Structure 1
Amino acid sequence: MNHPISKNALLLALVALICVSILTLIQQLTAPRIAEQRLANRMALLHDVLPAAAEQQLLDDCISITAPEWLGRNSPQLIFRWRQQGAVSAFVVETTAPDGYSGTIDLMVAITPDGTVLAARTLTHQETPGLGDKIELRKSDWMHSFANQTVHEANLRRWAVRKDGGDFDQFTGATITPRAVVNAIKRTALFIQQHPELAEQPANCEAF
C-alpha cells in the first residue's frame, strides 16, 4: 500500500538532488566572473575616491579589520592605505551604516590621518527609490558634501543633518538615510584619527 508513496518520495528526492547539483554547478561556473566584477567595481571606486593613488598600490597595502562599533559590521572590513615617501597620506575605508531606512548602507570613504574626509561613495544600499537613493551619485551630488570636511572633537555637533542641528542637508521626505550616512562617515573618521596604529599593521588582505 505504501509502495506508490515511497516511489514518489524517491522521485522527489532525486529531482531535488538534480536541482541542487545544477545550482552548485552554476555557482562554481559564475563565481570567478562575479569575483572579477567585484574587483573591477572596487578598483573603480578606489580610483574615484582617491584618484591620485595607484589602485594596485592600494590593493597591495590593505588590512582587514573587525570593528563593529566604528565600522558598522561584525565581519571584517577592508582598509586600503596610500603612502607617500613611506608615510600614510590617506586611508580608504570600507565602512557601513547599519541603520539605514531599509537596511545597511555600505560606503567607501577616503580619509587622511587627521580625520579629513577626501571623498565618500556608496557601495551598496537598499534605500527607497526616489528618496533614500539620493546617496548614489547618479541620482544626486549629495555625497560630494563630505569632501574636504574634517572631523574633530570640537565640531562633532556639526556632523549631523540639519534637522538634528548639523551642517548636512537631509532629503525631502527622507531623513533616516542621510542621518545614517553622516553618522557612519563621522564614526569612520574618528576611528582613523584615534587608531594611528592602523598605519603600521602588516598588510593582511587576501590576494586580489
Structure 2
Amino acid sequence: MSETTALGLSARTGAVMVGFTVIFTAVMAYTYEATKTQIAASASEEKMKLLTEVLPASAYDNALLDDYVQLGPTGELGLDDGGRIYRARKAGQPVALLIESVAPDGYSGRIELIVAVRADGSLSGVRAVAHRETPGLGDYIDPKKDKNKKSPWITQFGELKAADIPGCKVKKDGGQITYHTGATISARAVTNAVARAARYATEHQDRLFAAKSGGPL
C-alpha cells in the first residue's frame, strides 16, 4: 500500500470516528434530556403523594411544590445541610407549613420526617421519609411497615391540637404518645422531632409565609 493510499485510508477512518462520536454524543444528550425530564416528573409526583399523606389536597389551592422556603443548616429541625418548608394556602390565606425535619437520635441513626403544621398550630400529619430503624422492631414509625394497618402508630400525631404540643412526648416521658414496648428510642426520637418542628412553625410562621418563594428565610 502506498503512503498516499495509507494516508487517505487513515483520514477516512478518522472522519468516520469523528462522525460516530458526534452522532453518539447527540443521541446521549437527547436521551439525557428526555430521561432528566421524566425523572424530574416522577420525583415531583412522589413528593406530592407524600405531602398529600400529611395534608389533604382539598385543604389548599396553591401550587405546593412551587411555594416553598429554602432553609440553610437549621439545628432546631435537625437539618445539617438545610431543607425545605412548603407553604399551603387557600384563597391566598395561610393554611399549613409542611416542614422537612430530621430526628438525629433514632436507634439506628437519622430519621427524616415531613411534618405538617396547620396555621392554628395543630398538626395535620407526620410521615417518616427515610430511616434505618430495626426491621420488625423500631420500623413501625413508617406506616408502610407498621403491622397495624388500620391505625398506624404515626397517625396519632394528626390528632394533636396546638395546646398538645408542649406535652408532645411519649408516655414513658410523661406525654400522650404511645409506643411499642421494647422500641421506645425510635418513637421518642420521632416524637421529640415533631414537637420541635411544631414549635418552629409557630414561632416563625409569619416570616415563613411572607418569605419570597424559593428564597431563604
Task: State if a TM-score over 0.5 links the two structures.
Answer: yes
The 1:35–1:104 alpha-carbon spacing in structure 2 relative to 1, beyond 3 Å, is farther
Deviation sequence 1:109-149 (CA, Å, 0-9, x none): 11112321111111100000001100111232001110131
**Conserved? CA contact 1:98–1:105, under 8 Å:** yes
TM-score, normalised to structure 1, is 0.76
1:172 is aligned to 181
TM-score by length of 2: 0.73
1:201 aligns with 2:211: yes
Query: Is 2:197 the partner of 1:188?
Result: yes
Larger Rg: 2
**Distance between the aligned counterparts of 2:69 and 2:165, measured in 1?**
29
8 Å contact from structure 2 (residues 95, 119) kept in 1:
yes
Paired with 1:68 and 1:77, the residues of 2 have a C-alpha distance of 8
Identity of aligned residues (%): 38
Q: CA offsets, 1:87-130, max 9 Å, x none?
A: 21111111111111101111111111232111111110000000
Q: How many residues align?
A: 177
2:16 matched residue in structure 1: none
Change (3 A) 1:85 1:142: same
Q: Which residue of 2 aligns with 1:18?
A: none
Give 1:33 shift: 5.9
Spell out the pairing of 1:80-99 with structure 2 (5 A cutoff): 80-99=86-105
Change in Cα spacing, 1:165 to 1:123, as seen in structure 2 (3 Å) is: same
Larger deviation: 163-172 or 47-56?
47-56
Say whether the 8 Å CA contact 1:47–1:55 is kept in structure 2: no
- Aligned partner of 2:161 in structure 1 is 150
Quote the Cα distance in structure 2 between the aligned partners of 1:33 and 1:132.
34
- Gap runs ≥5 in structure 2: 1-27, 147-151
Q: Tell me the secondary structure at the aligned position of residue 63 of structure 2.
A: helix
Instruction: Tell me whether 186-195 or 37-46 shows the greater mean CA deviation.
Output: 37-46
Structure 1 unaligned spans of 5+: 1-24
Contact 1:170/1:178, CA 8 A, preserved across alignment: yes
Please report the RMSD computed on the Cα atoms of aligned residues, expressed in angstroms: 2.3
Question: How do 1:52-67 residues align onto structure 2 when only pairs under 5 Å count?
Answer: 52-53=58-59, 57-67=63-73
Judge conservation of contact 1:43–1:55 (CA < 8 Å) in 2. no
Q: C-alpha displacement at 1:199, in angstroms?
A: 0.7
Q: Name the amino acid aligned to 1:161.
A: V
